[in-house]
Amino acid sequence: MSEPTRSLADELRRFDDERLTELLLARPDLSAPVPRGIGPLAARAAGAASVQRALGALTRPELSVLEALAVLEDPTCPADVAAAVGATPAEIAGVLDRLRTLALVWGQSELRAVRTVREVLRTPAGLAPEADDDPSPAEAARRLREAPPELEPLFERLAWGPAKVDAAEGSAAARVLGEAGVLVRRGDLHLIPRPVHLALRGGRVCPAITITRPLPEGEAIRERIPGTRDAQSVEAAFEAVRLVGTVRAWDDDPPAVLRRGGIPQRDLRRLAQQADAPLDTYTTVIQTAWCAGLLGHDGESWQPTADWDAFRTRGLEQRWAELALTWARCRHLAVASAPADPQHGQARAALSSASARDGLRTRRLSILRALRPATGIHATEASLAASLGWAFPLVAPTLLAEEVHAALVEGTALGVVLDGALTTLGTALVDALEEDVESADGHLADVLRALAPPPVDELLLDADLTATIPGRPSERLLALLPWTDVVSRGGAMTLRFTAATIRRAMGAGLDGDDLLALLRDASRTPVPQTLEYLLRDEARRHGQIRIGRAAAYLTADEDVLTLFQGTPHAEALHLQRLAPTVAITASDPGFVLQMVRRSGLSAIAVGPDGLTARDERDHSLHGGPVEPELETVEGPELRLPAAEAVSRIRQADAGDGEDLSVTDRLLEAIAHGQELRLGIVDGRGGIIARDAVPLSLEGGRLRARDARGAEEFTVLVHRVTLG
């Protein structure tokens, strides 16, 4: 017969390596740094901050069972716990096993919650904190029996509500409930005493629990034309990529930066209108691009970054995959049904820390995974919020509803959600989240490539100044968008040239000759003369001036310059002759000097005034560390693999303990409820000996209970010595 479990440390010592690994993966804060044995691990697991963090990861049935254990007397049996949550012992067996693995509960037939659970859950299941003047269970039952019968409907309403009752001072209800002993006054609050509240609930702590997560509900999906949903999602995906491309216009007309960070709402609306996109769609895409590091600011204006330049060189499918994965893994809310920022009383600024929310990434993934098995229905927001509430019972329902709404709207903007259901792209995204970043990128890009129709590289030009692209436009034909207005989208795209659109494109620095060359090459029909005349006329009216970039100029006699231009060294400079004796290049002046000298010719550097200058190069590169990723893992990370941490804990636990520090010995005593003789250094340097039982060690402070007087005290751990 196995020995009874006497403490959490005893329970953890019975864990095999696999179960200890599971504990460290579920509660990574326990292994940073690695504990010096099972005792310190148990003490750390019982710390208030760690317990509070662990509670946030519990599901509704797990939290309900733990709340029941926090209410029932220690120790208790599984049957009593099951009765307290309206279930059978068999139904909660898996839940109890999970709570043991999380080191929140210990014992088998005699169950105990970790001591600090009661401290953290001061109002479990809405019950009032325990008080010295609480009636006994028998007295509580007597009060309800002797209460006036007319209070019965009120009792039913109060039973499953919170212990705090909003009762106006002197109201008839408060007076009658007070006279019946159902309501008591504690300070400024009217509370139902815990034993009375339990009696109102028939001895149960919470309503009957639901062991399995509720599935989303909604009407069945019916496609009149097969493939319509896939076509819509592909169109949304490519539209998201197009919107990221519109930030190129920020170079000429950048949006401002708010003092507290972010982009002003008026600029956001203006940019969305210019991009011909709904505000929610535009905000989602732009914020996702920001999270991906494609946008940044210098404190005054927003601009595309070097990463955006690299992003543009990738294929359309690859760009969308990067956006989709960034959105799924970020912790920023682009769309909110209630966007007010309580701190500033204003709308939350996009592209700022105000849009971040702790735990959002985990909950967003939970929403997507809940939709994964429900691909055949249009899930309602209410059913999704209920499903999310089961998984995250400690998060306010209003926040969960807001996040569900945002996930559906933002997912639609990226093509992964449509009418409350995952699209084929969305299903692929959920599956890809289990992979590493590189393989996930490739997998998603392949799925989009397979769903999308092949790009069309030809168009039809009509005399009415319209251009029709019979399919998805290729990268080359997308260059027509700045020159035109989109008349219609769908199976084909119809574009219209007007004087206004041509002026707009020329104003943005585009070249009419390049447009004509593209049209002549791509059109199945000749370019209409009316379009050529329109382009020429607008070019003359616009008065376009060509502006290029030059980093250095060269002057010499015509023969000398011609001689140099004919050498192999000049090929790397891509010289342009502006006149017989003048040439320019985009190469750095220092590099030009080297090439001229290597060709065997003499070279002299001159300054802005034309006088001879010192031969020094200007350095334009910016040094410094690489910026960290915008999104990191929420909560503490394991600093080494869990299996390695388990191995080190086992090795430390097998040692003789002689090299344990004061902190480790205190943690060991906390884990076992062991009494120690503490030496406490006073303000004059003397040491006061005190026999005490250490209770907790957090934030450099030791909380202990005096072994004689049962008085609790707190002391800074660096003032403690051990004999």
DSSP string, 556-576: --HHHHHHHHTSHHHHTTT-E
**Among 564-568, 595-599, 719-723, where is mean pLDDT lowest?**
719-723
Quote the tokens at residue 198.
Answer: 């339990």
* Fold observed for domain 659-722: SH3 type barrels. (2.30.30)
Distance CA 436, CA 168 (A): 58
Mean pLDDT of 573-591: 89
Q: Write down the domain spans for the chain.
A: 8-126, 137-200, 226-451, 460-542, 548-620, 659-722
Pairs from 130-135 (Cβ < 8 Å, separation ≥ 24):
130/194, 131/186, 131/193, 131/194, 133/184, 133/193, 134/193, 134/194, 134/195, 135/181, 135/193, 135/195, 135/196
At 547 the pLDDT is 66
Adjacent-strand bridge partners of 486 = 495
**Among 126-130, 430-434, 470-474, 671-675, where is mean pLDDT lowest?**
671-675
At 276 the pLDDT is 86
**Does residue 89 have a pLDDT over 80?**
yes
Looking at every residue in the chain, the average pLDDT score rounds to 85
**Does residue 412 have a pLDDT over 80?**
yes
| Domains 8-126 and 659-722 equal at CATH topology level | no
First CA to last CA across the chain, in angstroms? 37
Radius of gyration of the chain (CA): 35
**Does residue 80 have a pLDDT over 70?**
yes
Contact 32, 644 (CB under 8 A): no
Distance CA 675, CA 666 (A): 10
- The residue written with tokens 């956006």 in the block is 323
More confident position, 262 or 340:
262
**Does residue 615 have a pLDDT over 60?**
no
CB atoms within 10 A of CB 162: 15
**Does residue 3 have a pLDDT over 90?**
no
**Does residue 171 have a pLDDT over 80?**
no
Quote the tokens at residue 521.
Answer: 């090459």
The amino acid present at 544, given as its one-letter code, is: Q
Contact 264, 256 (CB under 8 A): yes
Q: Is 515 helix (H, G, I), strand (E, B) or coil?
A: helix
Does the domain at residues 8-126 carry the CATH identifier 1.10.10?
yes
DSSP 3-state percent helix, strand, coil across the chain (nearest 5): 45, 15, 40
Which of 330, 331, 325, 360 lies closest to 435 in space, CA to CA? 325
Widest distance between CA atoms in the chain = 118
For 349, the enclosing helix (H) or strand (E) is none
Tens-place pLDDT, residues 184-198: 888 778 889 999 999
Distance CA 312, CA 479 (A): 13
Which of 444, 433, 451, 370 lies closest to 407 in space, CA to CA? 370
Tens-place pLDDT, residues 225-244: 888 899 999 999 999 999 99
**Does residue 277 have a pLDDT over 80?**
yes
Contact 556, 602 (CB under 8 A): no
Distance CA 215, CA 225 (A): 27
CB atoms within 10 A of CB 344: 11
